[in-house]
Amino acid sequence: MMTFKNKTKNVVKVLEGVTPQTIPYDDLFSQNQPIILKGLVKDWPLVKAGQSSVQQPVNTVMSQLEQHYSKRPLLVYKAPAENKARFGYNKSCTGFNFSSNRSTIPEVFDAIRSQLTQEEHDYFYINSLRFDEGFPELNQTNTLNFDHAEFKNNQPVSKIWLGTESVAAAHFDQPKNIACCVAGKRRFTLFPPEQINNLYPGPLSPTPGGQVVTLANLSQPDFTRFPRLKEALENAYIAELEPGDGLYYPSMWWHEVEAFDRFNVMVNYWWMEAEPYLGNPMDALMHAMMSVRDRPAIDKEAWKALFDYYIFGDSENVRAHLPPESHGALSDIDENQARRLGAMLRNNLNR
């Protein structure tokens, strides 16, 4: 698979000697950038299974997964050979260049095995399957330690990603993430959130996997169609992962994920730093599209000042001059306050 070698000015930091029990979370969180955790999960049983057979590592890992499969049906994406492993939109961006259907692990693995010797083959991609639901025993024996204050009210959710070669187009996730490369090599191309204008996002709906993704092909960039992409690539972080490696990256960072081998496995852990009762910021974004975006430019400038003052500015500043008993919606948001605001919003939206 050809990949564009951009002249990025960013180097992904690498931490050596980290184990699932010794992850330096304070150091990771303070960096606010991607960090490779070299060999983080090299001792996981599932990683070792893939390295125990020189001749048939694919079948060894597949067998482990099949033996511990919960038999729950799952969603699998299938793309034809001409897609070259890239899962994304069709030409009109009204649908996708792959099909999806409910299946089982044995059915998907049998389809992959049947084409292992073929250079031209179908591409299969099982994405974002809950590890504890699909493989509950493996979820217990292949895990990380999350003994840190940040996880007190936000326990990470483990997901597993399985399939042939694949390219998941650049997108962002709201949670923070530790991605663990279990089988097959992977490359992450990551961009800080402020690069969104240079990444040419697709429509908000439909989306290939629940999140808006770029329309640009990072491996074969079309700078005529997407001229600002050049600046994005200059600001990219490239993380190359071997089986056993981990990668931490912060919330809202855009990332394209390439899996290179004929069979690949990744397990990742997602968690939100914010309290669950704060709701989904995407709801606020959609509401702002409806109520603010298409107003006259002079009105939008005024609303921008209001948002900067009340939302993106210092929350203490907006109430410092007010008696405490009058703070209302300006006070710190707790669960009860969130419920009151939610009820008020629902009432307003239903008028």
**Domain count within the chain:** 2
Q: Could you say which of 230, 252, 273 is where a domain stops? A: 273
CATH of the domain at 187: 2.60.120.10
Is residue 314 situated within a structural domain?
yes
**219 shares its domain with 282:** no
Domain extent, residue 308, equals 277-349
**170 shares its domain with 290:** no
**19 shares its domain with 163:** yes
User: Can you tell me the mean pLDDT for 198-224?
Assistant: 94
pLDDT at 306: 96
Instruction: Check pLDDT > 80 for residue 176.
Output: yes
Instruction: Check pLDDT > 60 for residue 255.
Output: yes
Q: Could you say which of 249, 273, 297 is where a domain stops? A: 273
**pLDDT (tens digit per residue) in 205-217:** 999 888 899 999 9
Is residue 8 situated within a structural domain?
no
**138 shares its domain with 45:** yes
The residue with greater pLDDT, 128 or 122, is 122
Is residue 28 situated within a structural domain?
yes
pLDDT at 2: 34
Is residue 185 situated within a structural domain?
yes
**309 shares its domain with 254:** no
Mean pLDDT taken over the chain? 93
**313 shares its domain with 258:** no
**212 shares its domain with 331:** no
Q: How far is CA 81 from CA 116, 119, 166, 282, in A?
A: 13, 9, 11, 35
Is residue 5 situated within a structural domain?
no
Sort strands 237-241 and 157-163 into parallel, antiparallel or unpaired.
unpaired
Is residue 336 situated within a structural domain?
yes
Per DSSP, the three-state class of 347 is: helix
Q: What are phi and psi of 294, to 5 degrees?
A: -95, 15
- Greatest alpha-carbon span in the chain: 74
**222 shares its domain with 264:** yes
Instruction: Check pLDDT > 60 for residue 55.
Output: no
**19 shares its domain with 98:** yes
pLDDT at 47: 95
Q: Could you say which of 217, 251, 273 is where a domain stops? A: 273
**322 shares its domain with 222:** no
End-to-end CA distance of the chain: 54
**119 shares its domain with 243:** yes
Of the chain, the percentage scoring pLDDT greater than 90 comes to: 85
Q: Give me the residues paired with residue 79 across strands.
A: 123
Global pTM reads: 0.93
pLDDT at 3: 41
pLDDT band at 58 (very low <50, low <70, confident <90, very high): confident
pLDDT band at 53 (very low <50, low <70, confident <90, very high): low
The residue with greater pLDDT, 228 or 350, is 228
- Contact assessment for residue 330 and residue 319, using Cβ atoms and an 8 Å cutoff: yes
Is residue 86 situated within a structural domain?
yes
Is residue 32 situated within a structural domain?
yes
**pLDDT (tens digit per residue) in 60-112:** 899 999 999 999 999 999 999 999 999 999 999 999 999 999 999 999 999 99
pLDDT at 57: 64
**281 shares its domain with 264:** no
Strands (E), the chain: 13-15, 35-37, 74-79, 86-87, 99-103, 123-130, 157-163, 166-171, 176-183, 186-191, 237-241, 246-249, 254-259, 264-271
